[in-house]
């Protein structure tokens, strides 16, 4: 009986309630009348009890991994769907089920869970080790002529080991293949041998996952993570054919929820379900007949939250992507046109909970199928005066909290376009206008060696999230109209002493006084964070190829009290190693060390110093020295290991 009900609920349609019973059977027994009504009532009561059991009991058990015993019970629950409503949803708990079935017209199985979120952020329960970093300050008098060591101050904090969050690519890609969605049908000609690679167990030779970036969705009590999964026909990580955007949901303890629907606003006053995990149908240009050097798809997606005009936070991603634009079109006497294109790699922004039909924003000549397909809404970000560079990468996004307070929403997202000779762009979230320059230190152009990594977190906003006497003291001391942002950049060094390239995180602090006076107040040299380095090639050494730790995003940053009742902060940083991992690091006490424990913090002083590149020059110089020392020590240790393996006595003391 229960199995039959599950089968019927799967096709449940709120507009035809009689579909609960087969129409032919219903006609045969209609004359029985009272008996049918009694039978129907009994079935409905059984259905209601089953669904409400799951709603109340499973939700009370956190709606998470249930400790089932026996293979049969595991099979019942392994495909269970979890439906999460936001904690501020206007409908009462007892009416959520009816709203889901009747208003959203979504199917629900008896083993599914449906509930309103009540989870809050949980402080990571991890082991930490102490780390110390130096920050070069630009807020010192005569900083331009000072020695680097005179600008340096050290700060201590705690760091966990990396927690890997790479997914099972066989499982993920196998499902992508079997689901055979419209998006898969469109993009799969770029990887025509996927099924063969799955059968032959060759996925790890050609598919890679990296650039995990996440946000904490407070209203849903979950972490929403995007990552890049790319395919390389040659297996070379620097020659991807296409990059796909994969989205996952993790609970407050960083356990993945594998079949979940978030009931999110649709932007028009209603709600809709968003199912995860999934590959996002991104509007990208691609041509399977031209693959050499194109690198199609979404590269290096970074996720962040913005407050929209309707008053709720929604996730956006910023990424770079290959596309083309018409540069010239000429028609001959026969009416035939000769069209010329120019290729670009540009920065785009996409709204994960909004859609668009077609993709003429990246493909000006659309086919009939493309015009009617639904993609994630996206917008190309163009510099002032419609100026497109051949290649744009590594813009670091941040939000203006003062503007949000004044307007009640975010009308723009800002980007650190250039660290050295600081340049900041302001790009609209509300229209298709070009970006404008918010700040330019001078007219010099060039990426330099310090480049974008994570978004920058607004510290003013963070300080409003927790009530504590120390926080009140800092807010009282902070100069009026000052905003502070902290993020993690990366210095890109080539042939500095270890491999072709070395990347490491660099902590950066940006401040703004008044309307538009920006300064990069502090920059750190390379920060190792005690992370185990992975070789670029599994069978080679650490200084063969590239030696990389890339910061991707600040997943969350929360304030709390420590054991001694002092203020404490907890930051989760996402990183990639060797362009092949999705890792999380938990950092405790970074803001506490920089802002609360430093009695002479220059971030709380009002001055006119720091409008120069001196601290960046010091950070890059120190990073270069780190690379040289790292390479020398690696070669020395490697030689000792070789001597030891060869029986040479010189290696016996190591």
Question: Mean pLDDT throughout 51-71?
Answer: 39
Q: How many CB atoms lie within 10 A of CB 206?
A: 20
pLDDT at residue 75 above 80? no
User: What is the rounded distance in angstroms from the CA atom of residue 76 to the CA atom of residue 464?
Assistant: 45
User: What is the rounded distance in angstroms from the CA atom of residue 527 to the CA atom of residue 585?
Assistant: 13
The tokens for 488 are 């993690």
pLDDT at residue 31 above 90? no
Q: What is the pLDDT of residues 339-366, one digit of tens each?
A: 888 999 999 999 999 999 999 989 888 7
Q: How many CB atoms lie within 10 A of CB 167?
A: 19
Q: Containing H/E element for 83?
A: strand 82-85
User: What is the rounded distance in angstroms from the CA atom of residue 370 to the CA atom of residue 348?
Assistant: 19
Residue whose C-alpha is closest to residue 560's, from 467, 456, 457, 460 = 467
Strand partners, 607: none
User: What is the rounded distance in angstroms from the CA atom of residue 164 to the CA atom of residue 167?
Assistant: 9
- When pLDDT is cut at 50, 70 and 90, the band that residue 3 belongs to is very low
User: What is the rounded distance in angstroms from the CA atom of residue 330 to the CA atom of residue 328?
Assistant: 7
Residue whose C-alpha is closest to residue 429's, from 415, 404, 410 = 410
pLDDT of residue 330: 72
pLDDT of residue 78: 56
Phi, psi dihedrals of residue 628, rounded to the nearest 5°: -60, -45
pLDDT of residue 332: 64
Mean of pLDDT over the chain: 87
pLDDT at residue 338 above 90? no
Strand partners, 277: none
User: What is the rounded distance in angstroms from the CA atom of residue 460 to the CA atom of residue 355?
Assistant: 32
pLDDT of residue 24: 33
Q: How many CB atoms lie within 10 A of CB 73?
A: 12
The tokens for 288 are 């399977």
In a 3-state reduction of DSSP, which class is residue 552? strand
User: What is the rounded distance in angstroms from the CA atom of residue 569 to the CA atom of residue 571?
Assistant: 7
Estimate the share of the chain in helix, then strand, then coil, as percent rounded to the nearest 5: 25, 35, 40
Phi, psi dihedrals of residue 10, rounded to the nearest 5°: -55, -35
Q: Lowest mean pLDDT: which of 5-14, 221-230, 493-502, 538-547?
A: 5-14
pLDDT of residue 16: 33
Q: What is the pLDDT of residues 397-419, one digit of tens each?
A: 999 999 999 999 999 999 999 99
pTM: 0.86
Q: Lowest mean pLDDT: which of 53-62, 65-74, 635-644?
A: 65-74
> How many Å from the N-terminal Cα to the C-terminal Cα in the chain?
71
Q: What is the pLDDT of residues 540-592, one digit of tens each?
A: 999 999 999 999 999 999 999 999 999 999 999 999 999 999 999 999 999 99
The tokens for 369 are 């199928």
DSSP category for residue 256: B
User: What is the rounded distance in angstroms from the CA atom of residue 305 to the CA atom of residue 314?
Assistant: 5
Q: What is the pLDDT of residues 119-139, one digit of tens each?
A: 999 999 999 999 999 999 998
Residue whose C-alpha is closest to residue 237's, from 540, 551, 638 = 540
Strand partners, 10: none
pLDDT of residue 23: 33
Work out the angle at residue 551's Cα, subtended by the Cα atoms of residues 546 and 555, and round it to the nearest 5 degrees: 150
- When pLDDT is cut at 50, 70 and 90, the band that residue 41 belongs to is low
Q: What is the pLDDT of residues 282-309, one digit of tens each?
A: 999 999 888 887 899 999 999 999 999 9
Q: Virtual CA dihedral for 374, 379, 380, 383, nearest 10 degrees?
A: 170
């Amino acid at each position: 009986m229960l199995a039959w009900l599950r089968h019927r609920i799967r096709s449940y349609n709120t507009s035809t309630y009689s579909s609960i019973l087969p129409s032919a059977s219903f006609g045969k027994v209609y004359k029985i009348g009272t008996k049918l009504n009694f039978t129907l009532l009994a079935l409905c009561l059984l259905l209601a009890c089953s669904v409400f059991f799951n709603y109340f009991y499973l939700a009370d058990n956190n709606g998470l991994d249930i400790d089932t015993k026996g293979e049969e019970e595991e099979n019942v629950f392994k495909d269970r769907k979890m439906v999460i409503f936001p904690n501020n949803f206007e409908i009462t708990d007892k009416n959520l089920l009816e709203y889901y079935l009747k208003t959203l017209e979504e199917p629900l199985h008896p083993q599914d869970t449906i509930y309103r979120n009540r989870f809050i952020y949980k402080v990571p329960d991890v082991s930490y080790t102490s780390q110390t970093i130096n920050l070069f300050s630009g807020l010192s008098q005569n900083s331009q002529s000072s020695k680097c060591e005179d600008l340096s101050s050290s700060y201590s904090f705690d760091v966990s080991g990396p927690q890997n969050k790479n997914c099972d690519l066989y499982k993920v890609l196998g499902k992508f293949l079997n689901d055979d969605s419209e998006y898969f049908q469109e993009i799969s000609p770029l990887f025509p041998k996927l099924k063969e690679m799955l059968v032959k167990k060759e996925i790890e030779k050609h598919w890679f996952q990296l650039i995990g970036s996440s946000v904490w969705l407070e209203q849903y009590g979950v972490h929403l993570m995007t990552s890049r999964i790319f395919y390389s026909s040659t297996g070379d990580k620097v020659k991807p054919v296409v990059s796909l955007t994969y989205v996952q949901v993790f609970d407050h303890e960083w356990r993945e929820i594998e079949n979940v629907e978030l009931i999110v606003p649709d932007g028009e006053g209603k709600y809709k379900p968003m199912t995860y995990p999934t590959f996002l149908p991104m509007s990208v240009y691609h041509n399977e007949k031209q693959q050499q050097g194109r690198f199609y798809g979404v590269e290096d997606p970074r996720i962040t939250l913005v407050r929209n005009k309707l008053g709720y936070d929604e996730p956006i991603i910023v990424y770079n992507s290959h596309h083309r634009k018409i540069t010239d079109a000429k028609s001959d006497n026969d009416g035939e046109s000769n069209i010329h294109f120019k290729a670009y790699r540009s920065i785009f922004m996409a709204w994960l909970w909004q859609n668009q039909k077609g993709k003429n924003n990246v493909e000006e000549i659309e086919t009939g199928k493309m015009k009617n397909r639904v993609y994630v809404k996206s917008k190309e970000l163009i510099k002032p005066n419609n100026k497109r560079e051949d290649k744009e990468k590594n813009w670091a996004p941040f939000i203006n909290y003062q503007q949000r307070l004044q307007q009640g929403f975010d009308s723009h997202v800002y980007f650190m376009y250039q660290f050295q000779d600081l340049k900041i762009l302001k790009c609209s979230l509300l229209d298709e206008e070009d970006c404008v320059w918010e700040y330019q230190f001078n007219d010099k152009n060039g990426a330099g060696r310090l480049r974008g990594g994570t978004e920058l977190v607004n510290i003013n906003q963070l300080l409003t999230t927790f009530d504590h006497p120390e926080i009140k003291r800092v807010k009282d001391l902070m100069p009026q109209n000052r905003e502070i942002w902290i993020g993690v950049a990366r210095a890109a060094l080539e042939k500095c002493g270890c491999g072709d390239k070395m990347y490491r995180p660099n902590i950066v602090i940006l401040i703004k006084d008044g309307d538009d006076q920006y300064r990069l107040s502090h920059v750190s040299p390379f920060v190792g964070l005690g992370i185990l380095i992975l070789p670029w090639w599994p069978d080679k050494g650490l200084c063969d190829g590239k030696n990389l730790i890339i910061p991707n995003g600040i997943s969350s940053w929360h304030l709390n009290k420590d054991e001694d009742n002092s203020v404490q902060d907890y930051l989760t940083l996402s990183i990639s190693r060797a362009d092949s991992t999705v890792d999380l690091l938990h950092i405790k006490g970074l803001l506490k060390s920089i802002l609360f424990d430093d009695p002479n913090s220059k971030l709380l002083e009002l001055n006119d110093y720091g409008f120069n590149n001196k601290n960046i020059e010091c950070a890059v110089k120190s990073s270069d020295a780190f690379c040289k020392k790292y390479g020398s020590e690696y070669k020395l240790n490697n030689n000792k290991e070789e001597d030891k393996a060869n029986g040479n006595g010189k290696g016996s003391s190591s």
